[in-house]
Structure 1
């Protein structure tokens, strides 16, 4: 089983994490303006929204997560942020990040989707923290993201059992 089903997105996710850390120092947290269904309320199109559990997103033409638009989950979208894991305080460790990323394909996946990852047709990738983001706000959070390799999704994948 591959942990990273979309390697190009892993690189882009790392770039997003770094961009958010470097640009987010003087901005307000947009998450209170969003609904639990990921409707993107209050997030301007030209802003780079922080990743939030429940976000449904359209992949940008650039392929970079920071260029993705948050859309209502009822509309066609490419991916859904379904889980987050905050790593413990202390020194950054790539090994700890990699070990924690396995949670995205374990119980968190099965609880959200309704079947084990091995039985699912859905893909998953992670937006991991980096050494550069580690000390910033939400800098130790690893996000788990679902997608359907067959194309866009309408509605949430919660309980999809596929």
Structure 2
């Protein structure tokens, strides 16, 4: 997922494209793969991680250990944010189109929306930040099952972090 600073956006998008190429059927498959949800407190924060959290149960604020994700993602490891983690879900974008847009259109929208949300989340410019972003997005297969959500994730190219990166530019 991480890439050298000058190329990080272009390669980050490509890495996410391959890392999340197929989310289709995840809800159905979770019945057979043992995927589930992380344990949450009454405020919805993860208090006990899960090595195979169903991607359709992820929420803004969840911390993930997803740096090893490749090609098709049905589950991702979640962990409490006060423990070392690779990334954090910081925004959710719901697409409203009826028909599946081309993947390029989804990636373009994700790049724009996640950048805007990134700057609001960290409280500063992406250009000045040591952090980068990536995203999970609907595939044609998951779109057919009703998936319309882009999940924006922030990460540190230098490696795992502990705690939330919210307001880190302040």
Q: Is the 8 A contact 1:37 1:72 kept in 2?
A: no
Measured at CA, do residues 37 and 66 of structure 1 come closer, stay the same or move farther in structure 2, by a change above 3 Å?
same
The aligned residue for residue 154 of structure 2 is 146
Measured at CA, do residues 150 and 46 of structure 1 come closer, stay the same or move farther in structure 2, by a change above 3 Å?
closer
- The CA deviation at 1:74 is 0.5
Matched ranges for 1:47-58 at <5 A: 47-49=53-55, 50-58=57-65
Larger proportion of strand: 2
TM-score norm. by structure 1 comes to 0.78
Matched, 1:112 2:112: no
- The CA deviation at 1:38 is 4.1
Matched ranges for 1:56-135 at <5 A: 56-59=63-66, 62-64=68-70, 65-94=73-102, 95-101=104-110, 102-106=112-116, 108-135=117-144
- The CA deviation at 1:117 is 1.2
The aligned residue for residue 23 of structure 1 is 29
Q: Is the 8 A contact 1:57 1:71 kept in 2?
A: yes
Measured at CA, do residues 104 and 155 of structure 1 come closer, stay the same or move farther in structure 2, by a change above 3 Å?
same
CA distance in 2, matches of 1:34, 1:78: 19
Specify every segment of 5 or more residues in structure 1 that has no aligned partner in the other structure, as ranges. Answer: none
CA distance in 2, matches of 1:72, 1:11: 26
How many positions carry a matched residue from both structures?
A: 156
Provide the alpha-carbon RMSD of the alignment.
Answer: 3.1
Show CA shifts across 1:2-32 (max 9, x none).
Answer: 35526334312223x22525525899x848x
TM-score norm. by structure 2 comes to 0.75
Specify every segment of 5 or more residues in structure 2 that has no aligned partner in the other structure, as ranges. Answer: 1-6
